[in-house]
Homo-oligomer: A and B are copies of this chain.
Amino acid sequence: MKLLEDRIRRDGECRPGDVLKVDSFLNHQIDVALLCELGKELERLYHGAGVTKILTVEASGIGIACIAAQYFGVPVVFAKKSKTSNIADDVYAAKVDSYTHGVTNTVIVSKQYLHPEDRVLIVDDFLAKGQALLGLSEIIRQAGAEIVGAGIAIEKAYQGGGDLLREQGVRVESLARIASMDPETGIQFI
């Protein structure tokens, strides 16, 4: 999606250690007008796919998931990263290694909010090694629900997570796919 690629080229910062900093518009400050365009595009891509629920994981996926959900007319469920005092014990759970933070989290979703009749679209801001998506897919499978696919803002395609999911038969639509990036040579898109 040219709008997003242009924005990444303009405002994204490629940092040492394979970090793409998009804090100025995606995951610290959020350009909500941009998210609206991304949300509309995700709805266009998955139009007619019968999505009944959008699943994401806290924290930075929640904004794009909520904005996109408006265009689908469905609720959002966000997986939580740790057990809190007001979540029931009755949860689906999966382990997720966080590439950015270097930790392993358990992500959980209450069994109340995913059902076998649900057709679930996973929405997230980033896809790199695919750990978050694999965890969310696992939760959808535990619920006996159907994975319609994934809608991602930025895929670091060279890290292989997207292809891993596609090989498993999951439809993955990423609005910007990075072929390679380097602080010296910049960002190349697929």
Interface residues in chain A, defined as those with a beta carbon under 8 Å from any beta carbon in chain B: 15, 17, 19, 21, 23-25, 28-33, 35-36, 58-60, 62-63, 65-67, 69-70, 73-78, 80-81, 84-87, 100-102, 109-110, 112-113
For chain A, what secondary structure do more than half of its interface residues adopt (helix, strand, loop), or is it mixed? mixed
Residues A66 and B63 in contact in the complex (CB < 8 Å), given A77-B28, A84-B100, A100-B86: yes
User: Is the pair A84, B59 in contact by a Cβ cutoff of 8 Å?
Assistant: no
Interface contact B31-A75, CB-CB below 8 Å: yes
The quantity of this chain's copies bound in the complex is 2
Do residues B101 and A32 form an inter-chain contact, with CB atoms below 8 A? no
- Contacts A67-B67, A70-B32 given: A19-B78 contact, CB under 8 Å? no
